[in-house]
């Protein structure tokens, strides 16, 4: 069966958008991450700790933060409000004297870039307490959204960025390019529709972010986010600007450009660019605004061409050479600001291969490269005056733009840095099986534990040594984790807390196990500390 030629390539953007929405990650991650916890995750303590201290690698908002402690029955055992440090990077919760048992420590904070950070971990108190990691499962499940909800949230973010870029791009071209008199009514009508789309998606984004930031839909919690956080203020300002734009735009060109700059500037306060320290924050936010403006000029011009290609072809023919030059400059600015932005976020470029953010960014780079190729073919077709080819290439370019905007909508809510997941290393052979864990496997303070079992009769484990070898600098000698001596046994467990992973980078764990027959076995495990 032959597909009708009447099907426009531009309609593919609908399919591309839907496919992308359902392929996006099911979880979003905050920019700030937990750097150190006392007591550490999976700690097995002999006595009740006096307090819980959580240190994060980025500044936090000073609203709606909490540390909750639950016992094995699911009962909350601490009701006091935690304290936040002056630099807004750590929170502290004082504790009463807790009886022996397993406890879930559940924390919730808001990163400075407006993303929620919610997680939990388990500690045990008492020498005779059996550690129960599974009591944390119910708490984690309650914090996770369903797949349908995550798809809906991703859809709202993607549609918001499409509306933001296309609306501002349309307004920019109306201000810097002369629209024919007979085209002005339709131009205004489409501008109004785009503004309505921006207003609706902005309100949708407000609802999505509030659903992630507040535990209870009370006026107090909602007010705390919208008035007490930079992200909330940005959302309120975005809604107000969208409303103000409805009656004011397309009257004065200078006012239109000020409105566009204001919308972009306000948006930069709600994202990764706002999470840095003061010195870097200003530069990252400026890069963000320039990046968005360049994207808007490119996308808005493509929409303008597709809108008037059939009914105003002569006008579009005259517009194309100018747009081609401006689009090329915009793409070069996008590349420059994108590279600078990436270098600010990532301490190592190879992190691109280890995080979902980096992988999606590489896909975006590939699509931008394809856009350059399409642009070259388009300029060639313009010189040859091949109108059918021009129309087809512009539609392909527009479809690629839609997919790129979809990727951007997801990138802004993913953590650029890979997550430091706890190391769980298991191995088994004919004589010995062992499990080695390092938690949280982050630079600084960690919990180290090795559990080993002898598989042969009359064979005991005499000694275990764990060395951490830093692969990125051979001048740094292996760091030994100083486990205490234990009695030789068929089943042994060594554990300790300490700062034996001081540096980010590539590491190798070397485990040496000596049995009662003085046989030594050596095992190696490579891992990365981000």
Each residue's pLDDT expressed in tens, for the chain with a length of 530 residues:
334 433 443 454 444 544 444 444 444 444 567 878 888 877 888 899 999 999 987 888 888 899 999 888 888 888 888 999 998 899 999 999 999 998 989 998 988 878 888 888 888 898 777 777 676 665 555 555 567 777 888 889 999 999 999 999 999 999 998 888 889 999 999 999 999 999 999 999 999 999 888 878 889 889 988 988 888 899 999 999 999 999 999 999 999 999 999 999 999 888 777 777 666 778 888 889 999 999 999 999 999 999 998 888 889 888 999 999 999 999 999 999 989 888 888 878 888 888 888 899 999 999 999 998 998 898 888 888 788 888 888 889 888 988 998 888 888 777 787 878 889 999 988 888 999 999 888 887 788 999 999 888 888 898 899 999 999 998 999 999 999 888 888 889 898 888 899 888 899 999 999 988 888 899 999 999 98
For 281-415, strand residue ranges (E) read: none
- Contacts of 389-398 with C-beta under 8 Å, sequence gap 24+, read 390/320, 391/309, 392/9, 394/302, 394/305, 394/306, 394/309, 395/8, 395/9, 395/10, 395/12, 395/306, 396/9, 397/302, 397/371, 398/10, 398/13, 398/302, 398/303, 398/306
What's the rounded Cα separation, in Å, for the pair 98 and 435? 29
Output the pTM of the full model: 0.80
What's the rounded Cα separation, in Å, for the pair 199 and 240? 9
Cβ–Cβ under 8 Å, residues 439 and 525: no
Q: What's the pLDDT score for residue 206?
A: 94
Q: How many helices (H) and strands (E) does the chain have?
A: 11, 16
Whole-angstrom distance between the N-terminal and C-terminal Cα of the chain? Answer: 53
Q: What's the pLDDT score for residue 8?
A: 46
Assigned CATH topology for domain 34-143 = Immunoglobulin-like (2.60.40)
Whether a cis peptide bond, with omega within 30° of 0, leads into 39 is yes
Alpha-carbon separation of residue 65 from 54, 74, 100, 120, 232 (angstroms) = 11, 20, 27, 14, 15
Beta pairing partners, 102? 124
Q: What's the pLDDT score for residue 2?
A: 37
Q: What is the CATH number of domain 9-27+146-411?
A: 1.20.1630
Q: What's the pLDDT score for residue 266?
A: 94
Beta pairing partners, 68? 106
Residue by residue, DSSP assigns 34-79 as EEEEESPTT-EESS--SEEEEEESS-B-SSS-EEEEE-TTS-B---
Structural domain boundaries in the chain: 9-27+146-411, 34-143, 423-529
CATH architecture of the domain 423-529 equals: Sandwich (2.60)
Q: What's the pLDDT score for residue 31?
A: 59
Q: What's the pLDDT score for residue 19?
A: 47
Burial (0-12, 13-18, 19+ Cβ within 10 Å), 293: buried
Per the listing, tokens 């939990």 go with 120
Fold agreement (34-143, 423-529) = yes
Q: What's the pLDDT score for residue 5?
A: 38
Q: What's the pLDDT score for residue 381?
A: 86
Number of residues that make up the chain: 530
Q: What's the pLDDT score for residue 9?
A: 39
Query: Which phi and psi (to 5°) does residue 400 adopt?
Result: -65, -40
Burial (0-12, 13-18, 19+ Cβ within 10 Å), 477: exposed
What's the rounded Cα separation, in Å, for the pair 208 and 204? 6
């Amino acid at each position: 069966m032959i597909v009708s030629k009447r099907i426009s390539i531009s309609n593919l953007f609908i399919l591309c958008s839907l496919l992308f929405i359902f392929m996006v990650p099911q979880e979003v991650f905050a920019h700030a991450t937990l750097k150190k916890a006392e007591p550490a995750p999976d700690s097995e303590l002999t006595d009740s700790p006096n307090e819980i201290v959580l240190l994060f690698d980025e500044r936090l908002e000073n609203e709606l933060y909490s540390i909750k402690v639950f016992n094995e029955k699911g009962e909350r055992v601490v009701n006091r409000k935690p304290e936040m440090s002056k630099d807004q990077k750590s929170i502290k919760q004082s504790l009463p004297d807790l009886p022996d048992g397993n406890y879930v420590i559940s924390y919730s904070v808001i990163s400075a870039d407006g993303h929620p950070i919610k997680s939990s971990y388990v500690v045990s108190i008492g020498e005779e307490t059996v550690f129960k990691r599974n009591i944390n499962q119910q708490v984690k499940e309650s914090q996770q959204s369903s797949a349908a909800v995550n798809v809906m949230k991703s859809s709202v973010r993607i549609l918001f960025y499409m509306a933001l870029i296309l609306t501002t791009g349309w307004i920019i071209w109306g201000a810097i390019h002369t629209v024919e008199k007979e085209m002005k009514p339709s131009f205004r009508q489409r501008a109004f529709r785009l503004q309505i789309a921006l207003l609706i998606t902005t309100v949708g984004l407000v609802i999505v972010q509030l659903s992630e930031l507040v535990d209870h839909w009370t006026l107090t919690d909602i007010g705390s986010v919208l008035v007490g956080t930079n992200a909330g203020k940005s959302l309120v300002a975005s809604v107000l600007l969208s409303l103000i734009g409805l009656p004011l735009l397309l009257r004065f060109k200078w006012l239109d450009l000020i409105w566009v700059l204001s919308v972009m500037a306000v948006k930069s306060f709600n994202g990764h660019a706002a999470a840095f320290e003061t010195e870097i924050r200003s530069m990252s936010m400026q890069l963000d605004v320039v990046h968005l403006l360049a994207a808007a000029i490119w996308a808005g011009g493509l929409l303008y061409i597709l809108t008037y290609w059939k009914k105003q072809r002569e006008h579009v023919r005259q517009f194309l050479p100018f747009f081609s030059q401006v689009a090329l400059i915009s793409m070069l600015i996008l590349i420059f600001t994108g590279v600078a932005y990436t270098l600010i976020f990532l301490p190592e470029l190879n992190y691109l291969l280890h995080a979902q953010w980096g992988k999606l960014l590489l896909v975006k780079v590939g699509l931008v490269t394809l856009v350059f190729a399409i642009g070259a073919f388009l300029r060639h077709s313009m010189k040859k005056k091949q109108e059918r080819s021009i129309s087809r290439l512009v539609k392909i370019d527009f479809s690629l733009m839609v997919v790129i905007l979809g990727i951007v909508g997801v990138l802004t809510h993913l953590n650029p840095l890979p997550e430091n997941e706890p190391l769980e290393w298991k191995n088994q052979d004919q004589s010995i099986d062992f499990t080695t864990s390092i938690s949280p496997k982050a630079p600084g303070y960690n919990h180290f534990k090795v559990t080993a079992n002898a598989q042969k009769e009359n064979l005991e484990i005499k000694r275990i040594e764990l060395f951490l070898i830093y692969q990125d600098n051979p001048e740094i000698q292996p760091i030994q984790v100083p486990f205490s001596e234990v009695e030789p046994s068929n089943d042994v467990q060594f554990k300790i807390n300490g700062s034996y992973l001081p540096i980010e980078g590539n590491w190798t764990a070397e485990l040496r196990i000596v049995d009662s027959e003085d046989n030594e076995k050596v095992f190696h495990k490579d891992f990365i500390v981000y």
